[in-house]
Amino acid sequence: MKRAKVSVIGAGQVGGIVAFQLAQKELADVVLVDIVEGMPQGKALDMSQTSGVEHFDAKVTGTNNYADIKDSDIVVITAGVARKPGMTREDLLKINADIVKKAAESVKLYAPEAIIISVTNPLDIMTQLVYKTTGFKKNKVLGMAGVLDSARFALFIAEELKVSIKDIFPMLLGSHGDTMVPLPRYTTVSGIPLTELLPAEKIAKLSERARNGGAEIVALLKTGSAYFAPGSSAVAMVESILKDQKRILPSCVYLEGEYGIKGVFIGVPVKIGKDGVEQIVELKLNAEELALLKKSAEAVAKGVTELGL
């Protein structure tokens, strides 16, 4: 059986993690694309040589030519400038818009049947830029954010409760940033709502740390941003598509009235399968939760307007 083809545009830290995990798990043959001459080729060769240790047969190819993404089943866009200390995701808006637009134009030209997973920050706005640039159907354009934010929230909960992270199932909505909306009522530990295990003030602190999870890492690294967890999160979405797992994962998708929000990409629970976005799950939110989600969508819409989309 022919192995799937996944192209990763952007061979930086996140792109490298995505490419390596895809190959190591033998989910797909991988094409790693970057404009820096020699860099994707060098990383691809290094990854390929680990196959002699890890014993995987998937191929990794590095290239500077966008044409090499031809016939990709999935394209993951990670290209862009990483945050530096003191920068918000929105500070990256203008810088990364040009980079992402070129990547999206290349996918439209060379891989028009592909499903796109957008990772570049500011995530929600860049995903909408990809959607507008390609003209792809809304089920074929997703943004990776909710999986990452959920993973961070899960870790902080596990550390606080001193339990296995395997039993924690978090839920967050909204944009990837300061207006993120953690949902303690829908976050469970072995089926037990988090609200029954921790007091409200402690949950609030964990939620705030999840919102600032990326900034915390940026401040510690000083010269870059997170890449291990973001890369793994993108791979989880790719795997659900390639294996038609139909996992329910919080993802950045285009809403057309769901949750009372229309015409914007925002994070909500999504069933992800071979066709990309197969269902948007509408949770029953209370008035406070819904107000926070709409506030988050308004922040995204403002950025979208700034780009003239």
**What pLDDT shows up at residue 304?**
94
224 vs 260: which has the higher pLDDT = 260
Tell me: the pLDDT tens digits for 118-137?
Answer: 999 999 999 999 999 999 99
Domains 5-143 and 146-306 share a fold: no
Which contiguous run of DSSP H or E holds residue 261?
none
Strands 192-193 and 247-256: unpaired
Read off the tokens for 294: 């709409």
Q: How far apart are CA 146 and CA 154, in angstroms?
A: 12
pLDDT per position as a tens digit, 264-301: 999 999 999 999 999 999 999 999 999 999 999 999 99
Q: What pLDDT sits at residue 89?
A: 60
Q: Which amino acid does the sequence have at 12?
A: G
d(CA 123, CA 226): 14
SS3 category, 121: coil
CA 157 to chain centre: 21
CA distance 202 to 210: 13
Query: How confident is the model at residue 84, as a pLDDT?
Result: 72
**What is the identity of the amino acid at 267?**
G
- Fold entry, domain 146-306: L-2-Hydroxyisocaproate Dehydrogenase; Chain A, domain 2 (3.90.110)
- Rounded to an integer, the average pLDDT of 22-43 is 98
Mean pLDDT along residues 150-167:
98
Domains in the chain: boundaries: 5-143, 146-306
Q: In the predicted model, is pLDDT for residue 23 greater than 90? A: yes
Model confidence at 15: pLDDT above 70: yes
Which residues lie below 8 Å from residue 96, measured CB to CB, with a gap of 6+? 80, 81, 120, 121, 122, 126
Q: Average the pLDDT over 142-166 and give the result.
A: 97
**What's the CATH class of domain 5-143?**
alpha beta
Question: What confidence tens digit (pLDDT) does each residue in 52-109 have?
Answer: 999 999 999 999 999 999 999 999 999 998 777 777 767 778 889 999 999 999 999 9
pLDDT exceeds 90 at position 251: yes
Instruction: Name the E strands within 64-216.
Output: 74-77, 115-118, 141-143, 168-169, 172-173, 181-182, 188-189, 192-193
Does 39 score more than 70 pLDDT? yes
What gap in Å lies between CA 211 and CA 175, rounded to an integer? 10
**7 sits in which H/E element:** strand 5-9
Which position among 43, 83, 152, 176 bears the catalytic label? 176
Q: What is the pLDDT of residue 150?
A: 97
Kind of pairing between the strands at 188-189 and 168-169: antiparallel
Q: Is the pLDDT of residue 5 over 90?
A: yes
| Mean pLDDT rounded to a whole number for the chain | 96
Q: What is the pLDDT of residue 252?
A: 98
The answer to whether residue 176 is catalytic is yes
Structure confidence at residue 279 (pLDDT): 98
